[in-house]
């Protein structure tokens, strides 16, 4: 099939590359000429495992092309995906100007049938606006070409996006015509494993499905984070609780890891956007608002634990392991590391940071400053530090030599923001250990943990 993708951001690029990999001819279009030039030369702007190879192979085979020429891009694909950004406005609603601009562009240039598919996460009702904007642009130039609109939300996890695209749990397709449904069924048929993974529904339900999925997941995390706060206060160990409740299939083990708050480009933004959508329609969401409030509070937990231990943090040096909002990405959007570092700086502390992929991004966000030292590895970050905080559970941080770390540090204090270490083991190396929901006084630090 001939496919066009508008937007070479995270979603557009992964979608374009993976669709080319399954044999389609894909043109990716973006207004950023510099980005297009670099992509054409095989330079990938984001860190995403497996993506560089697929882009490289498909550019080489001629199935994947990059362009800034919108007219050429509209002429190319029968299927036109809109995967441009929907940044939040001041009130948290998704800003649709870029999505609607693409719809207009398609209307201005299309010469025969086009199926226009929104891939970006967009509020319910956006497909109607896309239809309207495209129809108007088409009518303005006196055109009368047939077209369909559809919604096909993505469920890609950063760091596993290629894998998620190639082996989806499900493909959600929102349509209002058989013709559109058939095109999308055919497009995704190569990604079916064992059984048909495509779930066809009406457009509005598809649009809501994306938000619903993220909000259920974000709610699980905030609920566990809240329980971890209770565990801290009643001297229980949330990790033992987690293992026991996860065994109940109705709860399950996924997304019940307590931590230092969720970040990234999706959960925080989607939680706010759906609350806004409902609010504008006269429904005050209570659980969804609480999910956000609990998360904001949880992002402070690492700082609060340091503050409780040291009292005054002025002049202290804190080693921070992990800056990305989660492992296997260089993305720092809404990362708990930002909340921690900013609070530490306000309190007069210095940060010694290491992250395997996100240090360039941290430099871009914070620039050069005296109270932020970028280190060459985890051990280097720990040198002379008063405390070490594990913020992102990168694999490389899993089994450090705690005895060596204790000798490097000024004080052997560890705050484990993801509960990846065994408290008793760390204590043996001489560390004072603080986890999430496993207070120092709780059973977690006893010989049985």
Query: Please, what sign has the CA dihedral across residues 51, 52, 57, 63?
Result: positive
Member of 30, 148, 154, 239 binding ligand UDX (CB under 6 A): 154
CB of 331 to ligand UDX, least distance (A): 8
CB 418 within 8 A of CB 436: yes
Q: Which two tokens stand for residue 37?
A: 């030039």
CB of 224 to ligand UDX, least distance (A): 7
Member of 256, 320, 343, 351 binding ligand UDX (CB under 6 A): 256
Distance CA 332, CA 246 (A): 29
Query: Which of the residues are catalytic?
Result: 266
Residue 35's contacts (CB-CB under 8 Å, 6 or more residues apart) are 8, 45
**Helix 267-280 / helix 203-234 crossing angle, nearest 10 deg:** 120
Q: Which stretch binds ligand UDX (CB under 6 A): 61-69, 83-91, 166-174, 253-261?
A: 253-261
Q: Which stretch binds ligand UDX (CB under 6 A): 148-156, 281-289, 299-307, 404-412?
A: 148-156
Residue 66's contacts (CB-CB under 8 Å, 6 or more residues apart) are 8, 27, 28, 29, 30, 36, 39, 40, 59
Please name which of 129, 279, 296 lies closest in space to residue 218, comparing C-alpha atoms: 296
Site residues for ligand UDX, 97-136, by CB under 6 A, read: none
Member of 116, 149, 156, 353 binding ligand UDX (CB under 6 A): 156
Site string for ligand UDX, 213-232 (x = CB under 6 A): -x--x---x-----------
CA distances from 78 to 25, 88, 92, 145, 269 (A): 11, 30, 34, 13, 31
Work out whether 157 is an interface residue with ligand UDX (CB under 6 A). Answer: yes
Q: Which is nearer to ligand UDX, 46 or 409 (CB)?
A: 46
Member of 66, 165, 211, 257 binding ligand UDX (CB under 6 A): 257
Work out whether 292 is an interface residue with ligand UDX (CB under 6 A). Answer: no
CA 211 to chain centre: 13
Residue 143 phi/psi, 5° resolution? Answer: -85, 155
DSSP bridge pairs for 201: 174
Distance CA 124, CA 115 (A): 19
Q: Which is nearer to ligand UDX, 75 or 160 (CB)?
A: 160
CB of 326 to ligand UDX, least distance (A): 4
Distance CA 65, CA 40 (A): 7
Distance CA 384, CA 406 (A): 10
Work out whether 255 is an interface residue with ligand UDX (CB under 6 A). Answer: yes
Tokens 């405390």 locate to: 387
CB of 270 to ligand UDX, least distance (A): 7
Collapsing DSSP to helix, strand or coil, 319 comes out as strand
Pairing label, strands 2-6, 25-29: parallel
Please name which of 61, 436, 66 lies closest in space to residue 233, comparing C-alpha atoms: 436
Q: Which is nearer to ligand UDX, 25 or 333 (CB)?
A: 333
Site residues for ligand UDX, 177-216, by CB under 6 A, read: 214
Q: Which is nearer to ligand UDX, 151 or 317 (CB)?
A: 151
CB of 177 to ligand UDX, least distance (A): 26
Q: How many residues bind ligand UDX (CB under 6 A)?
A: 19
CB 99 within 8 A of CB 122: yes
Work out whether 6 is an interface residue with ligand UDX (CB under 6 A). Answer: no
Member of 148, 158, 239, 357 binding ligand UDX (CB under 6 A): 158
Task: Please provide the size of the chain in residues.
Answer: 449
Work out whether 263 is an interface residue with ligand UDX (CB under 6 A). Answer: yes
Work out whether 266 is an interface residue with ligand UDX (CB under 6 A). Answer: yes
Distance CA 50, CA 163 (A): 8
CB of 31 to ligand UDX, least distance (A): 24
Pairing label, strands 198-201, 317-321: unpaired
Work out whether 5 is an interface residue with ligand UDX (CB under 6 A). Answer: no
Site residues for ligand UDX, 377-406, by CB under 6 A, read: none
Q: Which is nearer to ligand UDX, 110 or 256 (CB)?
A: 256
Please name which of 375, 374, 376, 429 lies closest in space to residue 403, comparing C-alpha atoms: 429
Nearest residue to the partner ligand UDX, using Cβ: 266
Site string for ligand UDX, 323-362 (x = CB under 6 A): --xx------------------------------------
Q: Residues in the site for ligand UDX, rule: CB under 6 A?
A: 154-158, 214, 217, 221, 255-257, 259, 262-264, 266-267, 325-326
């Amino acid at each position: 099939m001939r496919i066009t993708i508008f937007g070479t951001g995270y979603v557009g690029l992964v979608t374009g590359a993976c669709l080319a990999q399954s044999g389609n001819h894909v043109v990716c279009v973006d207004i950023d000429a510099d980005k297009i030039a670099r992509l054409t030369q095989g330079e990938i702007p984001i860190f995403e495992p497996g993506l560089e190879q697929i882009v490289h192979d498909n550019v080489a085979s001629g199935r994947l092309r990059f362009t800034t020429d919108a007219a050429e891009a509209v002429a190319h694909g029968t299927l036109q995906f809109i995967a441009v950004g929907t940044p939040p406005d001041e009130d948290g609603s998704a800003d649709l100007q870029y999505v609607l601009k693409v719809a207009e562009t398609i209307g201005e240039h299309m010469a025969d049938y086009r199926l226009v598919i929104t891939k970006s996460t967009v509020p319910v009702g956006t497909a109607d606006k896309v239809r309207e904007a495209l129809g108007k642009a088409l009518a303005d130039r006196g055109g009368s070409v047939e077209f369909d609109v559809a919604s096909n939300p993505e469920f890609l996890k950063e760091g596993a996006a290629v894998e998620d695209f190639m082996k989806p749990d499900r493909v959600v397709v929102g349509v209002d015509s058989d013709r559109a449904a058939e095109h999308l069924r055919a497009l995704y048929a190569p990604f079916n494993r064992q059984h048909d993974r495509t779930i066809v529904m009406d457009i509005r339900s598809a649009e809501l499905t994306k938000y619903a999925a993220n909000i259920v997941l974000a709610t699980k995390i905030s609920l566990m984070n809240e329980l971890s706060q209770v565990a801290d206060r009643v001297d229980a160990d949330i990790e033992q609780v987690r293992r026991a409740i996860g065994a109940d299939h109705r709860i399950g083990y996924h997304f019940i890891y307590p931590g230092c708050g969720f970040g990234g480009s999706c959960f925080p933004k989607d939680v706010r956007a759906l609350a806004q959508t409902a609010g504008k329609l006269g429904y005050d969401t209570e659980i969804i608002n609480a999910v956000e409030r609990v998360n904001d509070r949880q992002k402070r937990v690492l700082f609060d634990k340091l503050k409780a231990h040291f009292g005054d943090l002025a002049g202290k040096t804190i080693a921070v392991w992990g800056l990305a909002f989660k492992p296997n990405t260089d993305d720092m959007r809404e990362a708990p590391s930002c909340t921690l570092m900013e609070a530490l700086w306000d309190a007069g502390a210095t940060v010694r940071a290491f992250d395997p992929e996100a240090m360039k991004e941290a430099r871009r966000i914070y620039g050069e400053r005296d109270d932020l030292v970028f280190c060459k590895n985890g051990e280097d970050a720990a040198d002379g530090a008063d405390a070490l905080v594990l913020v992102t559970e990168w694999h490389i941080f899993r089994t450090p030599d705690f005895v060596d770390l204790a000798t490097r540090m000024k004080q052997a204090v560890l705050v484990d923001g993801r509960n990846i270490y065994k408290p008793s083991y760390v204590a043996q190396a001489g560390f004072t250990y603080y986890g999430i929901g496993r207070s120092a006084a709780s059973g977690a630090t006893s010989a049985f943990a």
